[in-house]
Structure 1
Amino acid sequence: MESGPKLLHPWQGEPVDYRCVAMRFSREPGAADLGIALPDRIARAAPRRRAEWLAGRRCASEALRLLTGHGACLGMAPDRSPLWPGGTLGSISHSGDVAVAIAARADSCLGIGLDIERVMDGQGASEVAPEALTPRERRHLANDPFSVTLAFSAKESLFKALYPLLRRPMSFQLSELIAWGDQGTARLRLVEELSPQFPAGREIEARFARLGDLLLTRVLVTA
């Protein structure tokens, strides 16, 4: 079953104005594309990948419409990142049959990243921890599947927020989760220098929210 994109309000008192949208979508072959043109590499992809891509673009278009009054179908850059319209920036993610997107005005922040993940069980966390966690994180988090999920997702959001600024790959080992609280706030710390603007030791706030068995994270990079 598909449902149209719906506005989310996962956090209160955010420092910039943005719109966050989510939808549940079908992975069945032949899902309606609602007139969205598919890039060649997506048109050739498996039905599951096409459904994810279309749902993400539908969410992004609705987030832009709610933010600016004008929706748009995002293109895809050669590195597969979404091409946001001038004056805006944002992020797209999906997990299972849920897609999410967030859009903000480019003059309100430097970068914004969003990620959604199914909360891991013990086995999943033990498989992900060696790749996703730094040695310090493994000592403190590896026995708690929720914390592993939070660290993994927050780092994904951080990469999405920073990639348009740095245009360089980022491994999970370049940042670590150092704090999180019951109010849905967390902090990441850069382990290595990424640029003069993002030196080792810089801390960046993340937000998180539980949506059933899913975990949504958001990283906002300000000046």
Structure 2
Amino acid sequence: MRCFGSRKGERHVIARPLLPSSVRGAESTGACPEGGAPVNDGLCPEGERTLRGAGERRRADFRGGRACARAAPAALGVPPVPLPRDHGGSPLWPAGLTGSITHCQGYRAAIAAGTADFSALGIDAEAHRALPRGVLDRIVSGPAERERLRELGAARPGAHWKTVLFSAKEALYKTWWPLTREPLDFDGMTVFPTSGTAGDSGSFTASPWPPGPGSPPLHGRWLIRKEMILTALALSARYDLNPQFTPPARF
């Protein structure tokens, strides 16, 4: 496992280029050595119940992601604590922290930061391959997104741009949900990726907020590494979500 924030070996952390330097976390790659350890170790007591009926790979990925999540607060100097899940399945981070977990085949990661610096974080990993048939129709928000995908595909045909879009929307949802606990459909989000010079990394703008004046888009990053697409968003604590939108007080 590699930790964000550890000077030794941090240049080998795949997700590091996606995130502000004050965001910490952990990631692991390859076969999941954490996969054989039970999750109900006092840090995630409902973990084994969550995994009932899941296949072995799913179980290993979940456990590996949770192992990274246990390590992420430690990179901020916070001792390991229970990470229960809310009714939407997202982890409930300790008071004063926000974070996000992701996993796909061969990769697990979790990130965390203090809420004094960031209101919410989102990270997502997907295999770098074409989306299953029909998925794009369910996630695209309209003609503008489709046109951006066509432009990127013509300019940089080596990337699976539809999957980049899907992953960016996953990261956006993970940022939105902890703040609002409100559903947000993918076809209700607007995401516009842009490509860097090499075509294997870039940025994206994302707008999930209710319509209204003064709703600037969020800015995230994406990259392709090791046959995988990674996307991430970090919402500054100073960001004004929307003058007409206030998250529920209980959250």
TM-score over 0.5 (shorter chain):
yes
Give 1:130 deviation, angstroms: 1.0
In structure 1, the residue matched to 2:169 is 155
Give 1:110 deviation, angstroms: 1.1
Give 1:214 deviation, angstroms: 0.6
Runs of 4+ off more than 4 Å:
11-16, 25-28, 142-145
| Cα distance in 2, alignment partners of residues 61 and 117 from structure 1 | 22
Give the fraction of aligned pairs with identical amino acids, expressed as a percent.
Answer: 26
**Matched residue type, 1:10:** A
In structure 1, the residue matched to 2:140 is 133
Unaligned residue ranges in structure 1 (runs of 5+): none
| Cα distance in 1, alignment partners of residues 2 and 87 from structure 2 | 27
Are 2:25 and 2:72, in contact at CA under 8 Å, matched by a contact in 1? yes
Q: How high is the TM-score relative to the length of structure 2?
A: 0.73
Are 2:99 and 2:113, in contact at CA under 8 Å, matched by a contact in 1? yes
Are 2:18 and 2:221, in contact at CA under 8 Å, matched by a contact in 1? no
Seen in structure 2, the aligned counterparts of structure 1 residues 128 and 13 have a Cα distance that, compared at 3 Å, is closer
Give the aligned CA root-mean-square deviation in angstroms. Answer: 3.0
- Pairwise mapping of residues 30-179 of structure 1 onto structure 2 (< 5 A)? 31-33=36-38, 36-37=41-42, 38-39=45-46, 41-46=49-54, 47-121=56-130, 124=131, 126-136=133-143, 137-141=145-149, 146-179=160-193
| Cα distance in 1, alignment partners of residues 15 and 63 from structure 2 | 23
Seen in structure 2, the aligned counterparts of structure 1 residues 57 and 43 have a Cα distance that, compared at 3 Å, is same
| Equivalent in 19, 23, 39 of residue 18 of structure 1 | 23
Are 1:63 and 1:101, in contact at CA under 8 Å, matched by a contact in 2? yes
* Structure 1 SS opposite 2:118: coil
| Equivalent in 190, 193, 203 of residue 186 of structure 1 | 203
Seen in structure 2, the aligned counterparts of structure 1 residues 95 and 45 have a Cα distance that, compared at 3 Å, is same
Deviations 1:126-166 (A, max 9, x none): 53211122222223316565211111111110110111111
Deviations 1:30-68 (A, max 9, x none): 812376344153252424433222111100111111122
Deviations 1:154-203 (A, max 9, x none): 11101101111111111111222224131744233427617x7xx69631
Unaligned residue ranges in structure 2 (runs of 5+): 5-12, 240-251
